[in-house]
Structure 1
Amino acid sequence: MDRSHLNCLKSFILFLNFLCWLCSAFVVAFGEFQMMHSKFASLVTTFWPIFPANTLVVSGTIMTCVCYLGILGGFKENRCMLITFFVLLFILMLVELAMACVFLVYSREIHTYIEHDLMKSLVSYRNGAPEATKKLIDDFDAVQHLFRCCGVHGSADWGDNVPLSCCTKDPCNNVNFTTWDEGCVVKLRDWFAHNYRSTGAGVVTMFIIQLISMCISVPLFCHLSRQGLGYQ
């Protein structure tokens, strides 16, 4: 491999890693945005990793660091950085595959967590328990208003203490107002499923870029090894 081919390979791996770094930084920013504007964190607390925002922030942060290492390794033609980048990226890809399998296998259990925590929050809200903080009350009202639902399985969950956020038509200040028929657990499950499909599409794209970066880093590392370069 002559110098021109080496420079071409080096430029390609730098471009891929920089693209991957940009995507990872965007993933972190998008995850932080979701965390700041999420109305569900105080309602579902048992299994926090089910939130797409948490998954995006953690995976994006790790991927940003790994891609930065790949950029430095390719730019400086450093074998130590390149092999470290390859190993970390390979481990990260295995973790991504393992997480995907876990979510596929335990998707039903995740739905059970959502239903259990939502019912627990409703009981605290309805009975005026000490753990029914203002944030929990506001978030539950926001979910019912946003998704046009009432209770967990229906308005019957509230008994005689149905909140105004279940009201379907204005004005909602009278005693006998109509409520939404559908419970919020179905709407939230659909919302989580939609978010995970979007997150899954992004993960697949990132996975392809990572795989190509790994394949390109191998011949560059091998060439530096044959020339005895890469540790300066």
Structure 2
Amino acid sequence: MSCLKCLKYTMCGANFLFFMCGVAIFGFGISLMTKTKVAGLLPSLAFMSVANILFITGIIITCISFLGFLGALKENRCLLISFFILLFIVMLAELAGACILLVYESDIDKRIAADLRTSLKQSIDSRNNTVVKEDDWDLLQQTFECCGIENKTDWEGNIPSSCYVNKLSTDKLFDKGCYNLMKEWFESNLLSTGIGVIVLCSIEVFSILRCSTFPQRVYNDCLIIVFKNIS
């Protein structure tokens, strides 16, 4: 029983931690929506702006982790099974995405490069025609400490303040392009991210296996909830 309690509180703690991370990501996405111009880096996928991605990711993480936390805390089998199903769907989506990246790596690479050039052109045009307002390119360049796709010449002379090491000074520019730095970052973090996902899913799966200890109660609890809702 002590082992099961330890597993229960481990699952509660892990899900609470991810719930707080989800809330933080969700809030940061809303903050970006209000403070920056929502412009996607990939025009062919209009919803793929940094703010939208953070907003959607935050909602998914918050909802799933809250379901797991509440199910583990109350030891409600129906909630735990629902949590396991949602977690399994997310795992399948991640696996499918990884397979697509491996199979179509060269095609995706060319498509992303072309989309980045299109979005950079749109950013340049918007800065020329309207009052300057930060967009996803400013966030990208400040995050990766880069300028343009390949280098500063991509901005066609209209270099934004986010390309400078100090936004209040024009003394020094970031000398590297964003595209190669993004690829390097993705490749360097791919393995550690995969290991983290495997460890997390292992903890969750072992926690869900508690349900199999009392299989009859799983069905009884679910049926009672269903019949109560019907009545």
User: Scaled by the length of structure 2, what TM-score is found?
Assistant: 0.65
**Equivalent position SS for 1:153:** coil
Relative CO higher for 1 or 2, CA cutoff 8 Å, sep ≥ 6?
1
2: distance between equivalents of 1:87 and 1:229? 11
Q: Which has the larger radius of gyration?
A: 1
2: distance between equivalents of 1:146 and 1:229? 49
Amino acid at match of 1:120: T
Amino acid at match of 2:90: E
Change (3 A) 1:187 1:43: farther
Q: Which blocks of at least 5 consecutive residues in structure 2 are unaligned?
A: 226-231
Number of residue-to-residue matches in the alignment: 210
For the aligned residue pairs, the C-alpha RMSD in angstroms reads 4.2
1:95 pairs with 2:115: no
In the other structure, the counterpart of 1:119 is 117
2: distance between equivalents of 1:132 and 1:106? 40
Is the 8 Å Cα contact of residues 37 and 134 (structure 2) preserved in structure 1?
A: no
1:153 pairs with 2:150: yes
Matches within 5 A, 1:168-183: 179-183=173-177
Percent sequence identity is 19
In the other structure, the counterpart of 2:133 is 134
In the other structure, the counterpart of 1:62 is 64
Amino acid at match of 2:66: T
1:217 Cα shift?
1.8
Is the 8 Å Cα contact of residues 166 and 180 (structure 1) preserved in structure 2?
A: yes
1: distance between equivalents of 2:27 and 2:176? 29
Q: Which blocks of at least 5 consecutive residues in structure 1 are unaligned?
A: 1-6, 75-80
Cα deviation, 1:180-218, whole Å, max 9, x if unaligned, reads 443212223334555665654443232112111121221
**Equivalent position SS for 1:182:** coil
Moved over 6 A (4+): 37-41, 168-171
In the other structure, the counterpart of 2:213 is 219
Is the 8 Å Cα contact of residues 32 and 53 (structure 1) preserved in structure 2?
A: yes
Amino acid at match of 1:27: C
2: distance between equivalents of 1:49 and 1:158? 20
**Equivalent position SS for 2:134:** helix
